Structure 1
Amino acid sequence: MEGKAIPLTEKIIIIGAGLGGLATAVRLSYHGYDVEMIEKNTVPGGKLQFREQEGYHFDLGPSTLTMIEVFENLFQSCNRNIHDYLTFYPIKDGTSNYFPDNSIVQFNQDMKQVQEDIARYSQKDADNYPAFLAASKKFYDIAQRNFLNRLFLTTKDKMSPILMMNLLKVKPFTHYHDWLKQYFSHPNTLQLFGRYATYVGSSPYSAPAIYGMMSHIEAGLGVYGIKGGTYQLVRALETLALELGVKIHYQEEVESIATEYQKVVGVKVNGKLRKVDQVIGNVDMLTVYTKLLKNHRMDKKIAKLEPSLSGFALLLGVKKRYDQLKHHQVFFEEAYENEFESIFGTNTLPANPTIYICNASYSDASLIPNENASNLFVLVNAPHLSDMYDWENYKEIYAKKILERLEQLGLTKLRENIEYMEIMTPEDLKKTTGAHLGTTYGPSSNSFSQAFFRIPNRDKVFKNLWFVGGSVHPGGGTPIVTLSGGLVADEIIRKSKKG
């Protein structure tokens, strides 16, 4: 176990208390830094939030947990055991994938069973599945060694010969969908694995092949839940932060970042300046540049970045059980490419969107009022905010369309059994989390540069301004944003020791 550092006098303020910010806070506080977090909401978590209404518990945002060793290692680095704070459990069924031709693939860690499911519609694709998983693991291993566990703060960092050599191994200029076609030909299989690009707010037809590693992350490393709901991870990190002396100010909002010459000197809250030595932004990086800083040289670059997709969600408390629903399920439609052409091409809602449902009560009965109920988190991909939609007036119309489609897909009498419903739009995402244009992960990963060389975690002008979270390196996803927090904390600690 690494030793705790001698306490420092350096003052650090973290804007936002999402997973990335909490990860940074606990690492820095453990090493003696004076850390304060400023969070505009009443609770921490960022995009990972919760609702408890009428006996129903819903987790908002990430509903799939993978790479749990990231969370274990973070707690261990603070001389704690995460299993003293929460209880993980494996979701052995994985995800039920339903296709327009009535095929079903239960995607999980059972390679033989997945092959059998795929073979029902394509023996060729089933035969190629083991080779695909091996290639997926290779991508993951390369990413772990070269991309996910290091920062790229300088041109020298990015142009390392070893990095360039390994970058070529993950086919950075091959689109993910084209790479998938090297193994599969049936539309079902291409949809099944192509969907992983949406985990980083992107399109399988534009994002690079590296996201093929997601299949290994779920099929190789496993998918997990947490007793009491995914939000227990946030509560565990908040508890650890408070134990370590982190001060968290809720219902306070940073209005601007104060700078002098080439240095950040503080943040303004309620019109008053709070002086600091370092500032870490755990709100969307694009929001920091467009709202909290004025006339930054990054403004022109930001305007050229393609935003990631957003989401439209329904929280449904239903007084009925549906035997066909497991923990995770996806209902695909025909012409998958049309969905992404709508979102990224015309910035419109898909006519026939893919629908994801998390039915967490399948695994944890404590999340529902009684054994005959269901807590359904329904999510479809949506475009970022624009003038195309007045969400306040359109959300009920689109919700009705989704509910009607779910009844057609077999959730009989769904609408008449709903006891609680909440609609969440891209506008809500922007209001509650500060997400730029209501996106899930800031910039998309639909290009080489936006996938591999995202906006750096440290500002190029103000060297004491840092960023963590899904909008910066190493990218989106619950474990990955947690990694970003640890990486930034470790770099700050390294620089302090250096001098």
Structure 2
Amino acid sequence: MRGNRGAPPPSPGHVVVLGAGFAGLAAALRLAREGVRVTVLDHLDRPGGKAALGYEDFSSGPTVVTMPQVFRALHERTGLTLPPLDPARPTTTYHALDGRTFAPEALHVAGSLEPTLAQLGREEGREYVRLLGTARRIYQGAAPTFLFASPPGRLKLARYAVTRGLGAAPWSSLARLVESGPFLTPFWLRFATYLGADPYRAPAVLHNVSWVELGSGVWHLEGGLGALAVRMRERAEALGVRFEFGTRVEHLVTQGGRVVAAHTGRGVHTADAWVSAADRALTRGWLGLPEDRTPRGVSGFALQLRLSEDRGHAHHILWPAEYAREWRDIRAGRLPTDPTLYLHLDGDRAFLLVNAPPDPGVTDDPRGYGAFLLRGLQARLPLPVTDWHALSPAEYARTSLRGALYGRAPHGLTGSLRPGWTHPGASNLVQVGGTVHPGGGVPLSMLSGWNGAGGLLGLPYDSLDGPRVPGEGETWDGTQTPPG
């Protein structure tokens, strides 16, 4: 996208952003802050991407905040006031079928491992400390290359492989790395699902995801992430950004290696440059590129629940009888018959989510499967539900190919590498969002949108004050030396 060698690209007068999820909103804000005229197109009727599906006063996507520094920095740079961020204590409560519970405290929040270790047996505690330390080391090695930097080229990948790669157990699977007994093994495996992985097919490097939650903590954002999307849209509009909702892209027209127009169901749009914050596979289809046949990551089946009373803010994981069986069902293209239940309580509302195959046609009876899930939840953790709405993989397919929440599956030795920000034959378009570098989740999506848009303007990479990773021997938050 650069012109003469070493010279910044000419600033585009008008940029069209495709998609009003968190990546698209971050891109629009950065472009508008630099004085660019921006139009945002989205086929939904409000901002937030996956978070905008279903009931308007619910978030159907992410439910909590990780990497809070990224949120603070984005608000500071764009003139937004950040609502209170309260740490979740514990991060999540895990429920086994035999009645045993486990409620770990994030090290950054608690300042000590003692509250967590007190819930475990002696051998389990040793395994917990060992694997938390391993997660920290992998995260520390990977973050400068794969999270808080532009998409790495071959030289940077080679440097990581030589200096840090062996520490990420490249020849091991995640399942082999985290084997730690019947109670803790599924606990460690589930973090890979945050990136859409089948944890039994995931590479060991994805163990670093657990450090983000267990080391740095998860946080409740006042008003939730749906409200954040509304605030970002309002701030963008105040900076002159124009939004057109209910506008579905049909295809992109290219000429001379550049995108010159977007044909939509409501007319033709032209621009000097483009940011696609849609699923990368959908963008490839709009460009007429060959279909990406890489296997898709998991989808979800969710219930938005209305309650008759306020149940506060909390997260629960309810384990099935056999965690591996759930993933055998998903690999076979079936909705799990005994799934792990993820429950987020948010006052008088709740959000229940289970893993599902990436297949919009996996069920033609979402109310039936939803009722099945609700019965399973009520048998183990009763709630005063007054109304509910089901979101099947077909609903999530409105924002992603086949309903895969994070794009292609991060399996195999190189599977965790996310695609970069470019497409062939589209030199004035950048691809951002959770299906490309640096990955899924709201903070990484915002980093992608913010910096992909910045690249159009020749601006340097901005990590949005991403969490500093302590070095060996340093204390975490000045209270305790991290394990490992």
Q: TM-score range by the shorter chain?
A: 0.7 to 0.9
C-alpha displacement at 1:152, in angstroms?
2.7
Per the alignment, residue 438 of structure 2 pairs with 474
The counterpart of 2:386, out of the listed 408, 419, 438, is 419
Per the alignment, residue 259 of structure 1 pairs with 254
The normalised TM-score by structure 2 is 0.86
C-alpha displacement at 1:352, in angstroms?
0.6
The amino acid across from 1:339 in the alignment is: E
From the superposition, tell whether residues 158 and 349 of structure 1 become closer, same or farther in structure 2 (CA, over 3 Å). Answer: farther
Q: Which runs of 5+ in 2 are unaligned?
A: 1-7, 462-484
The amino acid across from 1:487 in the alignment is: N
2:306 maps to 1:317: yes
**Residues matched between the structures, number:** 449
Per the alignment, residue 437 of structure 1 pairs with 402
Task: Answer whether contact 1:146 1:166 (CA < 8 A) is retained.
Answer: no
Per the alignment, residue 148 of structure 2 pairs with 149
From the superposition, tell whether residues 333 and 327 of structure 1 become closer, same or farther in structure 2 (CA, over 3 Å). Answer: same
Task: Answer whether contact 1:197 1:204 (CA < 8 A) is retained.
Answer: yes
Partners of 1:330 and 1:247 in 2: how far apart?
Answer: 40
Partners of 2:405 and 2:155 in 1: how far apart?
Answer: 27
The amino acid across from 1:127 in the alignment is: R
The counterpart of 1:328, out of the listed 306, 315, 323, is 315
From the superposition, tell whether residues 313 and 326 of structure 1 become closer, same or farther in structure 2 (CA, over 3 Å). Answer: same
Give the alignment of 1:15-164 within 5 angstroms: 15-49=18-52, 57-78=57-78, 80=79, 82=80, 84-109=81-106, 110=110, 111-119=113-121, 123-152=122-151, 154=153, 156=154, 159-162=157-160, 164=162
Per the alignment, residue 348 of structure 1 pairs with 334
The amino acid across from 1:395 in the alignment is: P
Give the alignment of 1:118-267 within 5 angstroms: 118-119=120-121, 123-152=122-151, 154=153, 156=154, 159-162=157-160, 164-181=162-179, 184=180, 186-267=181-262
What whole-Å deviation, never above 9, does each CA across 1:143-164 have from its counterpart, x for those lacking one?
221111223375x455443455
**3-state secondary structure, aligned to 2:58:** strand
Task: Answer whether contact 2:11 2:456 (CA < 8 A) is retained.
Answer: no
The normalised TM-score by structure 1 is 0.84
Partners of 2:65 and 2:339 in 1: how far apart?
Answer: 24
Partners of 1:44 and 1:272 in 2: how far apart?
Answer: 20
Task: Answer whether contact 2:295 2:408 (CA < 8 A) is retained.
Answer: yes
What whole-Å deviation, never above 9, does each CA across 1:338-394 have from its counterpart, x for those lacking one?
211221x21111121000111111xxxxxx3xxxxxx2211111101165x342xx2
Per the alignment, residue 337 of structure 1 pairs with 324
What whole-Å deviation, never above 9, does each CA across 1:18-63 have from its counterpart, x for those lacking one?
001111111122122222111112211101227668xxx4321101
2:13 maps to 1:10: yes
Higher helix share: 1
State the Cα RMSD in Å: 2.5
Per the alignment, residue 493 of structure 1 pairs with 457
Task: Answer whether contact 2:54 2:391 (CA < 8 A) is retained.
Answer: no
Task: Answer whether contact 1:8 1:34 (CA < 8 A) is retained.
Answer: no
From the superposition, tell whether residues 317 and 170 of structure 1 become closer, same or farther in structure 2 (CA, over 3 Å). Answer: same
Partners of 1:418 and 1:479 in 2: how far apart?
Answer: 31
From the superposition, tell whether residues 50 and 285 of structure 1 become closer, same or farther in structure 2 (CA, over 3 Å). Answer: closer
C-alpha displacement at 1:398, in angstroms?
1.2
Partners of 2:223 and 2:140 in 1: how far apart?
Answer: 32
From the superposition, tell whether residues 235 and 309 of structure 1 become closer, same or farther in structure 2 (CA, over 3 Å). Answer: same
Partners of 2:298 and 2:227 in 1: how far apart?
Answer: 26
Q: Which runs of 5+ in 1 are unaligned?
A: 362-367, 369-374
Partners of 2:310 and 2:247 in 1: how far apart?
Answer: 41
Task: Answer whether contact 1:10 1:33 (CA < 8 A) is retained.
Answer: yes
Partners of 2:141 and 2:358 in 1: how far apart?
Answer: 31
C-alpha displacement at 1:282, in angstroms?
1.0
**3-state secondary structure, aligned to 1:440:** coil
C-alpha displacement at 1:326, in angstroms?
5.8
Partners of 1:207 and 1:113 in 2: how far apart?
Answer: 30
Per the alignment, residue 293 of structure 1 pairs with 287
What whole-Å deviation, never above 9, does each CA across 1:234-286 have from its counterpart, x for those lacking one?
12321221232222112222221111131111211346432222211111111
C-alpha displacement at 1:232, in angstroms?
2.1
What whole-Å deviation, never above 9, does each CA across 1:471-490 have from its counterpart, x for those lacking one?
11111111111111122123
Task: Answer whether contact 1:430 1:437 (CA < 8 A) is retained.
Answer: yes
Between the aligned residues of both structures, percent identity stands at 25
**3-state secondary structure, aligned to 1:402:** helix
2:438 maps to 1:451: no
Per the alignment, residue 364 of structure 1 pairs with none
Partners of 2:279 and 2:140 in 1: how far apart?
Answer: 28
Task: Answer whether contact 1:118 1:189 (CA < 8 A) is retained.
Answer: no
**3-state secondary structure, aligned to 2:67:** coil
The amino acid across from 2:332 in the alignment is: T
